[in-house]
Amino acid sequence: MQKPLKKIVIAGGGTAGWMAAAALSRLMGKELDVTLVESEQIGTVGVGEATIPTLVFFHRLLGIDEKAFLSATQGTYKLGIRFENWRDLGKDYLHAFGVTGKDCWACGFQHFWMRARDMGIAGDFGDYCLERRAAESEKFSHLPNNGLNYAYHFDASLYAKFLRNFSEHHGATRVEGKISQVLLRPDDGHVRALKLDSGRELEGDFFIDCTGMRALLIEKALHTGYESWSHWLPCDSAVAVQTASVAPPVPYTRSIARESAWQWRIPLQHRVGNGLVYASSYQSDDSASEQLQENLAGNMLADPRLIRFQTGRRRKQWNKNCLAVGLSSGFLEPLESTSIHLIQQNIMRFLRLFPAREISPVEVDEFNRQADFEMERIRDFIILHYKVTEREDTEFWRYCRHMPVPDTLATKIDMFRETGHVYREGNELFVDSWQQVMLGQGLMPKRYHPLVDSMSEKELEEFIGQIKSSVDTSVARLKNHEVYLREILAGAG
């Protein structure tokens, strides 16, 4: 009989490490010995503070209490992202998490909306999305049957601490120490152990690399290789800083396009996370730091931090007996708050394909195929924001507007422009989001589906009006976001 995998060693803490420890200890703790090694001397990036709705379901799977989580992480609710100046200067829109309107068997709601707009009886596309209207009204409440799609903003450092307590409660063991060497097995090149600066060796059957961009296991030891996407996503630097709150937290992230960069604002209970993502070939570090500081709404709570990155992915997310999770697996800029989602997905994908005995190449290949597909489609969605723009005011935006893009994205753009259709391929993450962003960025289809013409003008007006009325009624039932959050936290115990 082949030896079963029993001892899992997680290299590195932070959000990635402790999410992995939390899932493994909570869901498979009776079968596994989970050890996480991290050093208090090594900092984490710690700026991944905005999420998407998949995290809500991850927490539910693990049995994490939402009130306790929000209280421990200074969290707030999030209904979407407001994009400012992305289409053009002074033109804004909000990409919300919900579904817009109501589809039929043959075509999406955008086809009905386009005809109604031509008739002059439809408002903005976002008027028919509950989450967008709620975000713009700065409202939030839990609705029956998960009637409102939402995510969170939270303090990433506090989140790691929260998950550490959760993981240790479910049997995970933390080891303090710096990794000085990754020891490989001479027969097959798999990882045998992590040697710490104290001289201690942590042996394991399987290793999860959460060492961030250093990628100590997956790259420095196993030489997996990296595929750069910087020709499609030219931003390679960020400067980040935390500021004091000067207004109640809104239930959305702000993404503000600048001359050769974009700025984020993430409202928490106690402070605001800020950052500027920029292309160093178009803007100097000093200029970026100055631009960020000139556009802050509150006093800085610390000195700005500079972060370097290269967009792209590891050529294998799973190599031999090592899985890359988080920044060790690659980097996609946080424009659509997908960093934590990708951490979560690699963890859950690994659990679904968890080897019953020794590792099978078939499992490894399937894992990497799924991981590659997901990351490529998210990559395309992020590139979309840069490519489909009307901005020509700077060299940076002229480059983005006219750059070639992956064929998979070019096909989606052409399809929507010519027919108004958006098709979901496989298990793509984003669905309704595609038309929200394409319309928000100014891409209007040339025609709508002919089925829409089977409706009379009166029927179409009633159909559109009923959806709008339903959204209006639901928004009116919601509470102010700050008020509702205060009520939730009061019951956190």
Would you state the pLDDT for residue 77? 98
Would you state the pLDDT for residue 453? 95
Say if residue 386 is in the same domain as residue 465. yes
Instruction: Write the pLDDT tens digit of every residue in 262-275.
Output: 999 999 999 999 99
Residue 73 lies in a domain: no
The answer, yes or no, to whether residue 106 has pLDDT greater than 90, is no
Say if residue 142 is in the same domain as residue 172. no
Residue 56 lies in a domain: no
Would you state the pLDDT for residue 1? 41
pTM of the complete model: 0.96
Residue 200 lies in a domain: yes
- Give the mean pLDDT of the chain: 95
The gap from C-alpha 356 to its chain's centroid, in whole angstroms, comes to 30
Say if residue 223 is in the same domain as residue 331. yes
Say if residue 348 is in the same domain as residue 474. no
Last residue of a domain, one of 359, 394, 423: 359
Residue 445 lies in a domain: yes
Say if residue 160 is in the same domain as residue 215. yes
SS3 252: coil
Would you state the pLDDT for residue 2? 64
Residue type, 452: V
The gap from C-alpha 442 to its chain's centroid, in whole angstroms, comes to 23
Would you state the pLDDT for residue 3? 77
Last residue of a domain, one of 293, 308, 323: 308
**146 band by pLDDT with thresholds 50, 70 and 90:** confident
Say if residue 283 is in the same domain as residue 432. no
Residue 61 lies in a domain: no
Say if residue 388 is in the same domain as residue 475. yes
Say if residue 474 is in the same domain as residue 393. yes
Say if residue 411 is in the same domain as residue 467. yes
- State both tokens at 250: 């809104």
More confident residue, 241 or 45: 241
Q: Which domain holds residue 413?
A: 89-146+380-479
Catalytic residue among 6, 67, 78, 316: 78
Say if residue 269 is in the same domain as residue 291. yes
CATH code assigned at 349: 3.50.50.60
Residue whose entry in the numeric block shows the structure tokens 């000139």 = 294
Share in percent of the chain as helix, strand, coil (round to 5): 40, 20, 35
Q: How many domains does the chain have?
A: 3
CB neighbour list of residue 169: distance below 8 Å, 6 or more residues apart = none
Quick one: DSSP state of residue 220?
I
Residue 364 lies in a domain: no
**459 band by pLDDT with thresholds 50, 70 and 90:** very high
Residue 456 lies in a domain: yes
- Of 96, 386, 373, 342, the closest CA to residue 233 belongs to 386
Active site residue 178: no
- State both tokens at 299: 């006093």
Residue type, 255: S
- Of 475, 479, 484, the closest CA to residue 134 belongs to 475
Residue 168 lies in a domain: yes
